Amino acid sequence: MSLRVPPPQSLREALKVPDRYMFGPGPSNVPPRILEAGARPVIGHMHPEIFEIMSDIKSGIQYLFQTQNKMTFAVSGTGHSAMECAIFNTVEPGDSVLTAVNGIWGERAAEMAERIVKKGFSWSVFALSKHRPALFFLAHGESSTGVLHPLDGIGQLCHKYNCLFLVDSVASMGGSPLHMDQQEIDILYTGSQKVLNAPPGTAPISFSERACRKISSRKTKPLSFFLDFNWLTNYWGCDDKPTRVYHHTGPVTAFYSLRESLAVLCEEGLEASWERHRTVAEYFHAGLENIGLKLFVKDKQVRLPTVTTIIAPHGYDWKEITSYIMRTHNLEISGGLGPSAGLVLRVGLMGCNSSRTNVDMVLSALTDALQHCHRSKV
């Protein structure tokens, strides 16, 4: 048989990737050290050296999450895969799920849960006692609205009603204080591409003993084979079984970068990283107000230090601003997402990007955009 589809002309050209300032809500810039780690040779995903790297990753995540949980690993996939891993493994038909909606991520979690259970319920303390949900979802850092949701006391409240506490920390982890065990969080996940500064594609996750008990008491198998907790924890060597069985081919080069990104964070120290993100964000927020922009989140206490939402300046087309800044300054900032679409500009300064120099760069790009973009008189 002859080939009917010729090789595409475009693939004869060399790969072109520009260097950019990645100051949107993610992915962030990946420093050379982490990029180089990902360029090391591919070896078998079940070779002993890879198991050792996976074990280092587990310890790194335990530090990052401040947890002693044995069931700590990284899902092969982006933040969404960890979200589904958390929900699909703990929820089964007949359960109810409660989600706090303070932006798009609560909506997404509800959309995932509704694939298993009939209807999710929206958050209020009253809803815990009324609906007796099996799981409560909360985004710690809501990257769509720029809100940092307080966590203290919620885990204890959930446990009073025999409900698991699931926290999304994709946008906050490493940039804002969080103590998984002390705050009684049952399932916690994050992504690699924000504060960790690794490429997108791996998602750290951890399950408490309480969460494990709920999983082992399931009457049905989880919806997804790929995200099945028992398979994944065996592949990651968390379950103490004598043999680790092939489940999927782990993305080994992504593991190298994840390990390196955790090593960078360990070198700086969590508390130092939290403090750096806090002070840089404060400096940024003051600078924004100085140039006449307004922050979307009024209450300083609940502003996310990693992703800042700025009220879309009146009279301007937000898209013109983001494209002007990209074209003129080679710098990505983004518009809103989900409920904040059209209302805000979003700037993410995460991990190595969280510095005063970068704040100054964003402020001058915004000032320039406000001078040069079209402004309507109405």
Range in contact with ligand PMP (rule: CB under 6 A) among 5-13, 138-146, 226-234, 339-347: 138-146
Q: Give Cα 182 to chain centroid, integer Å.
A: 21
Q: Which amino acid is at 133?
A: P
Q: Which of residues 11-30 bind ligand PMP (CB under 6 A)?
A: 25-26
Range in contact with ligand PMP (rule: CB under 6 A) among 86-94, 117-125, 168-176, 229-237: 168-176
Cβ proximity to ligand PMP, 171 vs 252, nearer residue: 171
- HSE at residue 266, side-chain half, CA atoms within 13 A, is 15
Cβ proximity to ligand PMP, 176 vs 208, nearer residue: 176
**Least distance between ligand PMP and beta carbon 168 (Å):** 5
- HSE at residue 226, side-chain half, CA atoms within 13 A, is 8
Phi first, then psi: what are they for 296, rounded to 5°? -70, -40
**Least distance between ligand PMP and beta carbon 80 (Å):** 4
Q: Pick from 70, 80, 278, 356: which binds ligand PMP (CB under 6 A)? A: 80
Cβ proximity to ligand PMP, 146 vs 287, nearer residue: 146
What are the tokens at 69? 């949980």
Q: Pick from 74, 134, 148, 170: which binds ligand PMP (CB under 6 A)? A: 170
Helix (H/G/I), strand (E/B), else coil: 7: coil
DSSP code string of 11-42 = GGSPP-----EE-SSSPPP--HHHHHHHTSPP
**x-marked contacts with ligand PMP along 182-211 as a string, rule CB under 6 A:** ---------x--------x-----------
**Binding residues with ligand PMP: total (CB under 6 A):** 14
Cα distances (angstroms) measured from residue 339 to each of 127, 140, 143, 182, 281: 23, 17, 11, 32, 23
**Least distance between ligand PMP and beta carbon 40 (Å):** 23
- Least Cα distance to 238 among 191, 206, 216, 192 occurs for 206
Cβ proximity to ligand PMP, 28 vs 62, nearer residue: 28
Q: Which residue is nearest to ligand PMP (CB)?
A: 79
**Least distance between ligand PMP and beta carbon 108 (Å):** 7
Q: Does 79 bind ligand PMP (CB under 6 A)?
A: yes
C-alpha 364/C-alpha 188 separation (Å) is: 37
Q: Which of residues 207-226 bind ligand PMP (CB under 6 A)?
A: none
Under DSSP, the state recorded for 351 is: G
Helix (H/G/I), strand (E/B), else coil: 250: coil
Cα distances (angstroms) measured from residue 308 to each of 135, 212, 370: 29, 35, 18
**Least distance between ligand PMP and beta carbon 27 (Å):** 8
Q: Pick from 90, 102, 143, 183: which binds ligand PMP (CB under 6 A)? A: 143
Question: Does the annotation place 346 within a ligand binding site?
Answer: yes
Cβ 102 vs Cβ 142: under 8 Å: yes
Would you tell me which residues interact with ligand PMP (CB under 6 A)? 25-26, 78-80, 105, 139, 141, 143, 168, 170-171, 191, 200
- Residues annotated within the binding site for substrate are 346
- Residues annotated within the binding site are 346
